[in-house]
């Protein structure tokens, strides 16, 4: 049996999305910047996709900008907010995705702005009281960048509360919503965010296409130059087939959000219960009680002679899992998220991440295989 339990890294493309993407690739090949009929047809589906995505997050279509991925969107937002909006201070968290932390380290290294990382609790949640205290100092124009759901350990932040703090103190708010897009209701007006991002391949769309939400009152300039696409914000001919596919994938994800959440939550709970019976003393990282993403489960196994080989042996058994962010796999350094929450390096940590396509049979198979591998020595 082959089992894909790495859905936080990427997701298989939905069959309806493949069908729609193939149709566009075959039939809608005009350049949307062209004024002839072929171009107008491409422009039409481009703008329809923009409206679909805007509706999904309760945004204005004019606030949606298409990019190649969320990493590009994050780089564009953070760097250009400093350059174009006069941001002097960015407050973030050490458990953010490297797309955020590496960008902030770059800005700090070149003294473009001050960067402050909040303390986090044992679940990896940022200290909102510390945030409030920092925001009381309004001597510098500030942007807060805090993710909605952590890609490694699944802990969620209360964006609505953080957004209300930002509004109270008149600061800008960016959130990495990659892991929650299509899985959790997102309303930019209720949450008070000025910038957020999405990536199609995290919600059963294709790779290589994403979007940025940028509030009209806080427009930034382009990072990529050379054309007037995306209303001058991002040069380069738009990936029409990918964008249409992304919009369809998000539409499907939202239509099925409630039923998918119930199924994934049940799979996660079943996996936890069976794993605790099979392997005593396993530890689950991140918040397990309320603010957590059902599709992500970070498990630290007790020290064992076969611990370092566990993930590789699971792969050999046809089971796909990861040690954390796929964007950093292969890196020699350990997880910055686990380090931030004080997790011991003696424990082998594996991230299991689920989708509605997974089954209880797969859960049972994976737990049985883990038990076999851990107890084989």
Q: Which residues contact 300 (CB under 8 A, 6 or more apart)?
A: 282, 283, 284, 285, 338, 343, 344, 347, 348, 349
Burial class, 261, CB count within 10 angstroms (exposed 0-12 / middle 13-18 / buried 19+): middle
Give the max Cα distance, the chain: 69
**Is residue 185 within 8 Å of 257, Cβ to Cβ?**
yes
Burial class, 230, CB count within 10 angstroms (exposed 0-12 / middle 13-18 / buried 19+): buried
Catalytic residue (choose from 44, 113, 166, 327): 327
Mark whether 113 is an active-site residue: no
For β-strands 348-353 and 319-320, DSSP reports them as unpaired
> Strand, helix or coil at 345?
coil
Minimal CA–CA distance to 11: which of 181, 240, 263? Answer: 181
DSSP string of 54-91, one letter each residue: HHHTT--GGGEEEES-HHHHHHHHHHHHHHHH---EEE
As annotated, the active-site residues are 327
């Amino acid at each position: 049996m082959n089992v894909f339990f790495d859905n936080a890294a990427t997701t298989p493309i939905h069959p309806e999305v493949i069908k729609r993407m193939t149709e566009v690739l075959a039939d809608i090949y005009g350049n949307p910047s062209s004024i002839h009929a072929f171009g107008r047809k491409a422009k039409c589906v481009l703008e329809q996709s923009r409206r679909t995505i805007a509706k999904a997050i309760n945004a204005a279509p004019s606030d949606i900008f298409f990019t190649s991925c969320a990493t590009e969107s994050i780089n564009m937002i953070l760097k250009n907010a400093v350059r174009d909006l006069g941001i002097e201070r960015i407050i973030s968290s050490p458990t953010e995705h490297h797309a955020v932390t590496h960008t902030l380290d770059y800005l700090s290294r070149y003294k473009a702005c001050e960067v402050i990382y909040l303390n986090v609790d044992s679940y990896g949640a940022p200290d909102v009281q510390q945030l409030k205290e920092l925001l009381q100092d309004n001597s510098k124009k500030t942007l807060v960048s805090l993710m909605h759901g952590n890609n490694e350990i699944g802990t969620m932040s209360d964006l609505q509360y953080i957004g209300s703090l930002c509004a109270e103190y008149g600061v800008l708010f960016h959130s990495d919503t990659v892991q929650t897009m299509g899985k959790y209701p997102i309303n930019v007006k209720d949450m008070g965010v000025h910038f957020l991002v999405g990536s199609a391949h995290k919600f059963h769309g294709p790779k290589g296409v994403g979007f940025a939400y940028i509030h009209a009152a806080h427009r930034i300039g382009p990072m990529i130059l050379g054309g007037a696409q995306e209303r001058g914000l991002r040069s380069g001919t738009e990936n029409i087939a990918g964008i249409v596919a992304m919009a369809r994938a998000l539409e499907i994800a939202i239509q099925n959000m409630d039923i998918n959440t119930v199924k994934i939550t049940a799979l996660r709970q079943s996996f936890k219960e069976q794993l605790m019976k099979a392997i005593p003393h396993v530890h689950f990282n991140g918040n397990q009680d309320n603010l957590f993403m059902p599709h992500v489960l970070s498990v630290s196994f007790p020290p064992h002679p076969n611990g370092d080989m566990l993930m590789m042996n699971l792969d050999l058994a046809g089971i796909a899992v990861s040690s954390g962010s796929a964007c950093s796999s292969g890196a020699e350094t350990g997880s910055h998220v686990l380090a931030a929450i004080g997790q011991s390096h003696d424990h082998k940590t594996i991230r299991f991440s689920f989708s509605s396509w997974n089954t209880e049979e797969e859960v049972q198979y994976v737990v049985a295989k883990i038990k076999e591998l851990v107890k084989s020595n």
